[in-house]
Amino acid sequence: MATDPTGDDQSAFGATHPILEIEGDITALLGDEYLNMPFPGIRQHGYFGSVNAPRGAGGIVRRMPMLVRAGQNVFPSLSLQMVMRFWGLAADDIQAVLGDAIYLGDSGDRRRIPIDAQGMLAINYRYEPMKPGDPLGIELPTVEYFDLLIDLHQKHVVQADDAKESIPLKGRLVIVGEFATDSGPKPRSDESPLVYLHANVLNNILQSDYLKRADERMVWGLALLMGFVGTWIVRRYSIVLASVFTLTVLASFVWLTFALWMRSSLWVPLVAPVVEFVMLQFVVVGHRVLSEQKAKAEMRGMFGSYLSPVVIERMVESGEQPALGGVNEEITAYFSDIQSFSAFSEVLTATQLVELLNEYLTACTDIIQESGGTLDKYIGDAVVAMYGAPVEQADHAYQACRITLRIQSCLDDLRDKWTREGDKWPELVHQIRTRIGLNTGECMIGNMGSRSRFNYTMMGDNVNLAARMESGAKSWGAFNMVAQAIRDGCEKHGGDEIVFRPLGRIPSQPGCGRYYRDRCCGRRSCGCDQHCGFGNPRGS
């Protein structure tokens, strides 16, 4: 094909005739104004066809023109011309519908060659010059033209007795091409004779082995469906299960794609759906990670004001958020109160009172949180805390007793400090004491309050008993008072590290008005529903 006149008589086609029955825009066909035709003698006694083929990505020819245009005439390609000669079809037996197919023969036995709007056939590569033993290769009988010519001359002209038998050519399609210079890249070879292009096209037509494209709507629909299934799994289950699902889907899709290609020549889009699926999973997993990080930050913010950093980290690592509402758990309730605090407000200014309370409460809170305790609330000078929630502590009773002793020791240091500050503080501050009550048992713990504002706290009879241990310590002249359950818990987890002395029994019903100063019988409940109280020697 050429843009300038070639010197050939463009109307002298010889034995080849243009194809006239064409539906569609022929200007979309590959071609030009003029055609480089064979010598007059060749085209007079033989047929010609176009061998031009545009190269695609990587220099690979992926589509072969079946029809070419020269001015207003349309001619068959070399491959189509060979098929027409093989089946004995003339140009009048060909009907082309651009964007659909080329139909060969009459309506009773029509063969169909699928083409696009440019009259091109997508090549389904079957033949390649493979290495010997390649399981994916299809051997194509190939001989050297010079060797074949010598063999034929020896047999039929010289009639030599030792002439070799040439390969049978009768009834076969033979393509003669040059290997040395007429070569280029193929899908499975960097350098391959271009004559194999026509061999593959001929094989596609003769075997009806055409490259078929899968319905992209179905492929994308399947990819989106699997993406949403993966999204559902990521939102409900672990990242590990979601990763296994993603890898399984990807491996299955890739395997199915190659299997359909190898067995049925069905081309399924691979890269774009895989990228879409993977990106969707990345977005969903990323959203979940961000949500979990946000939830962890909210947990830290929610409990940071009354939990120690160690406890918060343990809650975050456990991956469990405290449920809204309440649950029954065995914990240790802690109550402390400054002795005769009302007298302090009478002798201290408001500024001094705030400064004193802040220093005292800071010391108590730091010790509680360092040991894994949870600050419940402040009630004036009183401190309410719990051990064993929201993060489980097997030795919560023992830890609460240890912290009770540490707080009393810390208060000794504070009294010394305030005494050394001289006249800054009245004598009453130099003698400040605090009472602490503890009890262990099942309590209702959780976020309680209104829907708009709530507090992580504890409730129940065992909490009330802990408060009564603190208030009742005054009647026994003690500063640390615990229930029998605390002693049992300490002996279980702390052995004899903490020493107790029995104080007596306190009626569990308010208004009973009787206190027993005899020795405890060693049981938690004694006669008429009374609870045993124990004091630590330090608080004597």
pLDDT tens string 319-333: 665 555 778 999 999
Give backbone dihedrals phi and psi of 272, rounded to 5 degrees, phi first: -60, -50
- 251 and 152, same structural domain? no
Q: State the Cα angle at 493 between 487 and 499, rounded to 5°.
A: 40
- 491 and 374, same structural domain? yes
Distance CA 425, CA 359 (A): 13
198-230 residues labelled b (16+ CB within 10 A) or e (exposed): bbbbbbbbeeeebbeebeeeebeebbeebbeeb
Provide the pLDDT for residue 22. Answer: 92
Has residue 230 been placed in a domain?
Answer: yes
Which residues fall within 8 angstroms of residue 199, CB to CB, at 6 or more apart?
127, 140, 175
Handedness of CA 84, 87, 88, 91 (dihedral sign): negative
Has residue 14 been placed in a domain?
Answer: no
Provide the pLDDT for residue 216. Answer: 78
CATH of the domain at 332: 3.30.70.1230
- 193 and 76, same structural domain? no
- 351 and 384, same structural domain? yes
Distance CA 453, CA 518 (A): 47
- 477 and 399, same structural domain? yes
Has residue 528 been placed in a domain?
Answer: no
Identity of residue 3: T
Has residue 15 been placed in a domain?
Answer: no
DSSP string, 441-460: EEEEEEEEE-SS-EEEEEES
- 491 and 381, same structural domain? yes
Distance CA 373, CA 457 (A): 13
Has residue 109 been placed in a domain?
Answer: yes
Distance CA 449, CA 452 (A): 8
Provide the pLDDT for residue 470. Answer: 92
Provide the pLDDT for residue 521. Answer: 35
Q: Which two tokens stand for residue 473?
A: 């310590």
- 273 and 160, same structural domain? no
Provide the pLDDT for residue 513. Answer: 39
Has residue 159 been placed in a domain?
Answer: yes
- 419 and 284, same structural domain? no
Count of C-beta atoms within a 10 Å radius of residue 232 = 13
Q: What is the mean pLDDT of each run of 10 residues along the chain (540 residues)?
A: 62 84 90 80 84 84 90 90 90 91 77 90 77 52 79 84 77 78 76 82 88 82 81 77 84 88 82 81 79 73 60 62 74 94 88 93 91 88 91 89 94 93 90 94 86 81 93 88 91 82 68 38 39 49
Identity of residue 540: S
| Count: domains in the chain | 4
- 163 and 102, same structural domain? no
- 231 and 203, same structural domain? no
For 483-535, what is each residue's pLDDT tens digit? Answer: 999 999 988 887 778 888 888 776 554 444 333 333 333 333 333 444 555 55
Which residues fall within 8 angstroms of residue 119, CB to CB, at 6 or more apart?
28, 29, 30, 65, 66, 67, 68, 96, 98
* pTM score: 0.49
- 243 and 162, same structural domain? no
Domain finish residue from 73, 107, 122? 122
Has residue 223 been placed in a domain?
Answer: yes
Q: Which two tokens stand for residue 417?
A: 């400090």
Pairing mode of beta strands 530-535, 480-483: antiparallel
Domain that holds residue 172: 145-210
Has residue 316 been placed in a domain?
Answer: no
- 285 and 356, same structural domain? no
* Secondary structure class of 151 (helix, strand, coil): helix
